[in-house]
Structure 1
Amino acid sequence: MHWSYPATELWLGGSIVFAATVLEFLGLPAPGRPLLVIAGAEAAIGNKEILFLTLVAGVGAAVGDAPWYFLGRYGGARVLHFYCKLTLGSRSCVANTERFFHRFGILTLLFSKFLPGVRLFAPPFAGSTGYPLSSFFCLDLLGGFLWAGSLVLSGSILGPHISWALKGQWVWVFTFVPVVVFFLGRLVKRMIKGPAENAFLFKPHPQPSGPSVTGSKETMI
């Protein structure tokens, strides 16, 4: 990808970023984050609008999260089991998600994308615990913009210093090696901490007056 060319390539690159981000937030091994950093670096080098990349990736993240919200809300334990296996989630991921939702409620969606384990389970958790679609969509979209903007801005700042990594075969290494390392780390964590499908989920009841929630626990199995 070379972002210093006119609008056609910018839209093409944006489409690639959008697709990779959607796939990543669906739980698949796609290089959404590395591509955002690279795109931000190329945008800095090519003097293109960074806002476009932030909007595209933020919407992509929300699109990828949406199916898991609905499946968490309507799918029941069997769907959550499937999601846990698909994403290689661990018990600690579920515990951390429970803790953040218990403390911050639906506002967790504003920063959950910065926390790998919590990011995995925030959408189905919000769905299974009955948070309204409107609240989920607005906060998840805003959280997506914050997440994407931070990565694109990081790439923009680092652009002049990592331009060598954007040439030739280095760009493929920089794009896909982090994905492999990340998923291997997730697999090891699942083996050590135990599978997420064996964990207990907290069942909060949303309070309209604030982010705190109360409720009881029920098992996913």
Structure 2
Amino acid sequence: MEFVTFLIDFVLHVDKYLEAFVQTYGLWVYGLLFLVIFVETGVVVMPFLPGDSLLFVVGAMCGVGLMSYPLSVGLLLAAAILGNQSNYAIGRRIGPRVFQWDNSRFFNKNAFDQAHAFYERYGGITIVAARFMPFLRTFAPFVAGVAQMTRTRFALYDLLGGTLWVGGIITVGYFFGNFPWVKLHLDKIIWAMILVPGLVILWGAWRSRSRGAGTNS
């Protein structure tokens, strides 16, 4: 319970934690950030780690000179791409056996099924779109591996999606993250980053189900 409380506080106040880490450990912060992004995108049981908010805060810190913009973008882009490649490789290795897993503390089968349905409907572009959707971005490369998507095609979408996600959000944070209004309402912005993509997914699933029901009737 204490870990869950700490995790929620870390996600909502990642700016304070990251700034303290930078001031205390200096360049080691880049290693920590690489690890967080790699694990969040590369380990299918770790979808709860901060991604969008972390990148935004990194951009804001680059904007005030606490961190290097080119180093942050390059390093975290590498982490995002390698994480997806790892997740994809795990999916290819495990294959159809995953469909026999049950809900557990570390695996949400409903979330996996939603990612699978989304992937089946929209194909490879899911790899790009899922980058901007918490939870879904952790499962999408795994599902691509399970579905035996060709490695070359996956790598292309992985590179495109990773570049847009890492480069885009860090750049937005760089230019806008230090506005007084943004800093004052950062916790609300982080909640929006988490909830809005989820609502979009639910709305899309509802629309798809409604159309399916209409067709069947």
| TM-score above 0.5, yes or no | yes
Q: What is the CA deviation profile of residues 177-199 of structure 1, one whole-angstrom value per residue up to 9, with x for unaligned ones? A: 759x66xx79xx7xx99xxxxxx
Please tell me the residue identity of whatever aligns with 1:63.
L
Q: Which of 148, 152, 169 lines up with 2:166 in the alignment?
A: 148
Gaps of 5+ in 1: 194-221
Partners of 2:32 and 2:112 in 1: CA distance:
30
Partners of 1:97 and 1:37 in 2: CA distance:
27
1:96-175 map, 5 Å: 96-101=118-123, 106-116=124-134, 118-162=136-180, 165=183
Please tell me the residue identity of whatever aligns with 1:149.
G
Q: What is the CA deviation profile of residues 143-163 of structure 1, one whole-angstrom value per residue up to 9, with x for unaligned ones? A: 112101111012112232159
Q: How far 1:115 moved relative to its partner?
A: 3.5
Partners of 1:156 and 1:132 in 2: CA distance:
35
Partners of 2:175 and 2:90 in 1: CA distance:
38
Please tell me the residue identity of whatever aligns with 2:39.
L
In the other structure, the counterpart of 1:201 is none
1:13-92 map, 5 Å: 13-25=29-41, 26-27=43-44, 28=46, 29-46=48-65, 49-82=68-101, 86=106, 88=108, 89=111, 91-92=113-114
> TM-score, normalised on structure 2?
0.62
Number of equivalenced pairs: 174
Task: For residue 177 of structure 2, give the secondary structure of its aligned residue in structure 1.
Answer: helix
Please tell me the residue identity of whatever aligns with 2:150.
P
- Answer whether contact 2:116 2:140 (CA < 8 A) is retained: no
- Structure whose residues are more often helix by fraction: 2
> TM-score, normalised on structure 1?
0.61
Q: CA RMSD in A?
A: 3.8
Q: How far 1:90 moved relative to its partner?
A: 5.5
The answer to which of 152-161 and 80-89 deviates more is 80-89
